[in-house]
Amino acid sequence: MSTTGRGVHINTPLNNVAIAYRPNSMIADQIAPVVNVNKQSDSFYKWQIADAFRIWESKRAPATEANVMERNMSSDTYYAKNYALKDRIPYEDIENADAGMLFTERSSRIMSIKDALMLDMEQRVALKCTSGSNVGSYSATGSAWDDYTNSDPILDIETGILNVEDSTGYRPNSILLSRKAWRHLRNNTTLIGRIFGEQSRKVVKPADIADLFELERVLVGGALYNTAARNQTATLSPLWSDDVLIYYAPKTPRKDAPSFMYSFRWNKISNMQAYIYQLPKSKAEEIELAYYQDEKITASALGFLITNVESST
């Protein structure tokens, strides 16, 4: 790749667009909060629940040393892989652009690239956090939620909350519902009656679910992806399955605080910055976005998965 003229540089206005823009329906960073790290690969401590809730003997006699808290810990590692995509604008389009429209054209390319990068991340997180092997426990519903009269999603959700709280000491503060699960939950007769009273025709909102179960976050995974091959008619499918994840994650990500999942973001080289490359041989300008990240299940016991909430699957 050769460069001339402006060569390779970080475009500040486009970089601001990339940072500010948030693709619609993407929720991965709320399930796996992003922790900025200084090394591309490193280890992190995992404290034992048993020691965190142990009552230590703290009484000491005069002129003696304090008792030592001999806490056990394990460690895990992350490796922030590089994810990047780019797009090209032909020189012909650049030269023929009306005044002020070139920035708009570049901005739209940035948005498309970031959309694609975030959809890729969304899928990686979805595959990890909806696997029964990655949570402390999981269970299918007693009755599928598309039976609005006989199913009991309140009991299903409370069972998951209590499972995590009783086994870890942390009460889950978040719930993630697929779009299918959310559509069924908000139409459940018992749930509507519990929130608004019998025979109510009010519409259930995520905030109502948060109040009912004392949660800080109610997320609805509504992202779609195209399963068709290139150059074929689009076939859109839900990225999130018909599962429900109940979990704990801090509102502010910290390496020393427990969370069901974390994303370790290495930002020493590139962190969603807009790079411009000139390609005179191809007679085009190239725009690239990249970031380094690893999504890790850091405390599987802080998650509970409700599976098969829709009977048709």
pLDDT higher than threshold 70 for residue 277:
yes
Which candidate, 221, 222, 223, 210, places its Cα nearest to that of 157?
A: 210
pLDDT higher than threshold 80 for residue 108:
yes
Pairwise CA distance, residues 242 & 313, whole Å: 8
C-alpha 137, offset from chain centre? 20
Pairwise CA distance, residues 297 & 124, whole Å: 12
Which candidate, 264, 249, 254, 302, places its Cα nearest to that of 76?
A: 264
What are the tens digits of pLDDT across the range 232-251? 998 989 999 889 999 999 88
Contacts of 188 (CB under 8 A, 6+ apart): 145, 148, 151, 153, 154
pLDDT band (50, 70, 90) for residue 3: very low
pTM recorded for the entire structure: 0.84
In CATH, the architecture of 9-47+74-307 is: Alpha-Beta Complex (3.90)
What confidence score (pLDDT) does residue 258 get? Answer: 86
Pairwise CA distance, residues 232 & 120, whole Å: 20
pLDDT higher than threshold 80 for residue 25:
no
What confidence score (pLDDT) does residue 257 get? Answer: 75
Secondary structure class of 74 (helix, strand, coil): strand
Q: Which amino acid is at 41?
A: S
Pairwise CA distance, residues 304 & 173, whole Å: 12
Q: What average pLDDT does the segment 116-142 reach?
A: 94
Pairwise CA distance, residues 181 & 39, whole Å: 39
Q: What average pLDDT does the segment 179-206 reach?
A: 90
42-56, 69-83, 118-132: segment of lowest average pLDDT? 42-56
pLDDT band (50, 70, 90) for residue 94: confident
